[in-house]
């Protein structure tokens, strides 16, 4: 009885579990649908151009499908009209450059292979019925082998690989099918015509319907990568020297800021994307600020230098998270110099990125690089004095020396990036913005500190300080600097030399 009761209870438990699973199916299905919908929404939200591209592909396929839907068009091309549809499927890419490159490769390869296939067919006819298939096989072998070997050349691989594949495919199809088809010229003409129609449809839709330019994407990507490096360098001082407080307690980092400073890691793997965009951009016509024969190769040079800097930053980030740290007292001595070096290098990279985005000469970047070099000299002096005087254990110097060495390398990389960007600006002829007023070189009629003003009989205690300037631009910034300095100066009287409450300063520029 006990065994039967236990079996019944087990069956009831299994049935209950099965019933709960069945009842939970609608909820699980709903969660799956909501999850897929959220992924679809996120995919379109990240880059709305993906939605536009999907619509463009559908539009191009609908247009070339008319060759099958309308009888007059079908009578002219016959079953070869399917090649137009296949061409749209394989040629239409996300960017204009990729679509144009594939379309030109496919068109030229089809034309050349078709012509050679017809020539091979007529040449094989001279060998008679018995020798024709043998000669055709030999020609297919030679052309396929030579074309495949040619694909290994880096220049061919980068720009014409797809064309070589289509060349081999078309030549083989025309040659082999021509052996059984009498009207080989008609066959070659139909296939070439439909492929050209499909490729032209792709190119026209890609250019004139919400175009996506690979050159513009490469331009923005180059600037964005430098901004990511600048974000890390500008926040390095707080991350590294803020690991310990004055009381010796550990410093708690903000996870959001930490993730923000880790954005540079994507720069390390940007080489493939940059090379692909540069390859596609070479096919694109003039558009926007990018003219004919735009120096896309220079962007690859800037990208390579940016990645070198990113590798140094990766090592610098390892120093932040290292278990071996220098003493707090010693870190305080080098904090100002290291912070200046990283901060000014970050500002230089940000100015260079802004110059690329706006296509203007980044003149301010050179000033930041010079300031970072001054910080480098200060750091070397501090390290020498610390090693000779205060540090007994040289092992304490190694972590700081590593950070200093990496910062010096980063400054060198930043200077090389600046030279490459200036070379790009010279080739493309970026706009030159030469402000009359800069914070570093203000042209004033008088310089110096403002002394306290003393008076005796002024009832309102009103002081008017007039600053004469020859500058039209930067007036707001200059006025703000003077207001900040002047408002910090107390106004006193001659009698008691006490600050006068309620007195105000007026700044007239």
Whether 426 and 468 have beta carbons less than 8 Å apart is answered as no
| Neighbouring residues of 57: CB distance < 8 A, sequence distance ≥ 6 | 88, 92
Q: What is the rounded distance in angstroms from the CA atom of residue 491 to the CA atom of residue 509?
A: 21
Helices 364-385 and 397-428 pack at an angle, to 10 degrees, of: 160
Give how far Cα 158 sits from Cα of 161, 280, 292, Å: 7, 10, 20
Domains in the chain: boundaries:
49-208, 214-241+261-428
- 241: enclosing H helix or E strand: none
Instruction: Name the β-bridge partners of 499.
Output: 492
CATH 1.20.58.220 for domain 214-241+261-428, yes or no, is: yes
What does the alpha-carbon distance between residue 101 and residue 109 come to, in Å, rounded to a whole number? 12
Question: pLDDT tens per residue, the chain (509 residues)?
Answer: 455 566 666 666 677 777 778 888 888 888 888 989 999 989 888 889 999 999 999 999 999 888 777 767 666 666 777 888 889 999 999 999 999 999 999 989 988 988 888 888 888 888 777 788 888 889 889 999 999 999 999 888 888 999 999 999 888 888 877 655 556 677 777 778 888 888 999 999 999 999 999 999 999 999 999 999 999 998 888 777 774 444 444 444 455 455 556 788 889 999 999 999 999 999 999 888 898 889 999 999 999 999 999 999 998 888 877 777 766 777 777 788 888 899 999 999 999 999 999 999 988 889 999 999 888 888 888 777 766 665 556 666 777 788 888 999 999 999 999 999 999 999 998 888 765 444 444 333 343 444 444 444 444 444 444 443 333 333 333 334 333 434 444 444 444 444 444 444 443 33
Q: Is 340 within 8 Å of 372 (Cβ atoms)?
A: yes
Quote the radius of gyration of the chain (alpha carbons, Å).
36
Beta-strand pair 462-466/504-508: parallel
């Amino acid at each position: 009885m006990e065994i039967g009761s236990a079996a019944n209870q087990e069956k009831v438990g299994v049935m209950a579990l099965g019933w709960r699973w069945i009842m939970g199916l609608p909820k699980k299905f709903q969660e799956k649908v909501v999850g897929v919908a959220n992924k679809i929404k996120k995919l379109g939200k990240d880059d709305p151009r993906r939605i536009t591209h999907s619509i463009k592909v559908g539009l191009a396929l609908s247009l070339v499908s008319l060759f099958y839907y309308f009888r007059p068009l079908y009578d002219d091309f016959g079953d070869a009209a399917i090649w137009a549809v296949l061409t749209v499927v394989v040629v239409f890419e996300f960017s204009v450059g990729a679509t144009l490159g594939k379309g030109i490769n496919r068109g030229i390869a089809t034309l050349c292979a078709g012509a050679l296939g017809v020539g091979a067919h007529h040449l094989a006819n001279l060998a008679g019925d018995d020798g024709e298939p043998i000669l055709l096989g030999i020609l297919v072998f030679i052309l396929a082998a030579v074309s495949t070997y040619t694909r290994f050349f880096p220049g061919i691989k980068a720009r014409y690989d797809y064309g070589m594949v289509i060349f081999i495919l078309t030549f083989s199809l025309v040659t082999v099918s021509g052996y059984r088809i009498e009207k080989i010229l008609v066959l070659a003409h139909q296939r070439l015509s439909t492929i050209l129609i499909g490729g032209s449809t792709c190119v026209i839709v890609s250019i004139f319907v919400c175009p996506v330019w690979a050159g513009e994407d490469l331009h923005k990507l180059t600037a964005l990568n430098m901004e990511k490096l600048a974000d890390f360098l500008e926040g390095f001082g707080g991350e590294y020297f803020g690991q310990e407080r004055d009381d010796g307690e550990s410093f708690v980092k903000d996870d959001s800021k930490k993730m923000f400073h880790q954005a540079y890691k994507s720069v390390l793997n940007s080489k493939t994307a940059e090379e692909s965009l540069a390859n596609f951009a070479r096919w694109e016509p003039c558009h926007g600020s990018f003219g004919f024969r735009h120096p896309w190769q220079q962007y690859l040079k800037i990208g390579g230098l940016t990645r070198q800097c990113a590798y140094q930053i990766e090592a610098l980030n390892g120093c932040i998270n290292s278990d071996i740290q220098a003493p707090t007292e010693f870190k305080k001595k080098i904090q100002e110099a290291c912070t200046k070096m990283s901060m000014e290098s970050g500002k230089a990279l940000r100015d260079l990125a802004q110059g690329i985005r706006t296509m203007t000469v980044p003149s301010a970047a050179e000033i930041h690089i010079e300031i970072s070099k001054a910080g480098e000299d200060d750091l070397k002096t501090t390290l020498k004095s610390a090693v000779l005087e205060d540090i007994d254990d040289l092992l304490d110097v190694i972590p700081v020396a590593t950070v200093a060495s990496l910062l010096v390398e980063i400054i060198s990389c930043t200077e090389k990036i600046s030279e490459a960007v200036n070379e790009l600006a010279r080739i493309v002829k970026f706009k030159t913005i030469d402000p009359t007023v800069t914070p570093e070189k203000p042209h004033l009629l008088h310089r110096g500190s403002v002394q306290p003003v003393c008076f005796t009989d002024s009832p309102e205690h009103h002081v008017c300080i007039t600053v004469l300037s020859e500058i039209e631009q930067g007036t707001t910034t200059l006025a703000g600097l003077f207001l900040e300095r002047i408002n910090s100066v107390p106004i006193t009287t001659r009698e008691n030399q006490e600050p006068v409450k309620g007195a105000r300063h007026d700044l007239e520029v």
